[in-house]
Structure 1
Amino acid sequence: MTRAPARWPRPWAALARRQPSAFLLAAQLLSLLVYPSMDDTQGGRLLFGAVALVVVPLAVWVVNRSPAVSIVAWLLAIPAIALTGTGVLLDRPELLPFSALLESALYFYAAASLIAYMLHDHRVSADELFAAGATFTLLAWGFAYAYFVCQAWYPGSFTSTVEPGRPRQWMELLFLSFTNLSATGIGDVLPVSSPARVLVMLEQFAGVGYIATVVSRLIGLTVIGARR
């Protein structure tokens, strides 16, 4: 009687179960490499939609590991993916602000769920460290999508030192979001309208609060664990 070959656990599957935040963080950082090739052409919008089809399910995935309610994430993710796919494939750019609004809400909800996950216990695991990085990128993407919606609904909300009259591209809005959230404030992309300035102030407040609460707590728990 022949014995069935033993099934060894797949390393990637085991890593995905233990540290889903690492996959989300990696996907978001890798997407930065393809964002510079995006523009207002059909090919750029197709690439924009392809990135959303990967990152949005990953954001829902990490919500499943947190104390948050995953059904809320799916209620935001499914119509966002549907609107993005419809707008890109049927060349309906007017649908993209609505999908961006849902994606922004999803990323904020996923960031809040990861913060609740990190505050859930008093030990710092490897996945929580990846979650800290993923939460930062989720907040940055969430505000970048909010800027995208603001620019679509309030034309001329953002200007720049380079070609100040045209709408800002996605990479410029994401760059603005990262500089605000990290308190770098380079200032080559500037908010002009009142709604845009309100969003920028909210992101600056969120960035300071995130560093003061989540990051400082993780550092403190890591130091306490090392002393023990």
Structure 2
Amino acid sequence: MTDLVEAFHTALRLIVTIDPQLIEIVMLSLQVSLLAVLLAGIVGFPLGAALAVYRFPGRGLATAALNALMGLPPVVVGLVVYLLLSNAGPLGVLQLLYTPAAMIIAQTVLVVPIIAALSRQHCEDLFEEYDEHLRSLGASSREIAATLLWDGRYRLTTAVLAGFGRAIAEVGAVMIVGGNIDHVTRTMTTAIALETSKGNIALALALGMVLLATSVAISGALMGVRRGARRFAYA
């Protein structure tokens, strides 16, 4: 018990004194996860809206597959990305393996289905309300999809939060493609796993507290922006 209390105090000291090693790991984690969510949003939002609006053979199967992909095993994604980026893989010439770029790719693959599936559901709900009105105005399917995304932008904050939560907490995929290299690809989650196995509980605790605080802070910030924007829109 004494060792645990001492480790907790040491962890707090690392945070309060802004330990350089701690900050380096935290900043890399945020850079990788935020970029992954941004890229996933660029792909996922239009994909979800398209599935909500367009009618085509196999749409139900595509929707079911998208929902199933929300539960993609991270280690499988990591393995697939590893095989693609390895020297023997089709993208090996890019030399991205064991770099932050490889970690961003892996996290993007994991987050796209989440954002796309949640976007599809939100847009489909709105589509049921607006379909007749938009069709009467002569809007094309592409215009309808864009309108649904814009009108549902506040609801879609939930998709962004879910995607960020998946990205920032990821361990398996980024460990495989990033290698957990010190000063290069070490993120909060991989560092926590490593430091815990080494017995360095203080640093692991510090990273765990920062990880939790970061998730809460970003979630709170997005929710605050959502509420503020809605008040402004209806003012």
TM category, shorter: 0.3 to 0.5
Structure label with greater radius of gyration = 2
The structure whose residues are more often helix, as a share, is: 2
Normalising to structure 1: TM-score of the pair? 0.34
Work out which structure has the larger RCO, using CA pairs closer than 8 Å and 6 or more positions apart in sequence: 2
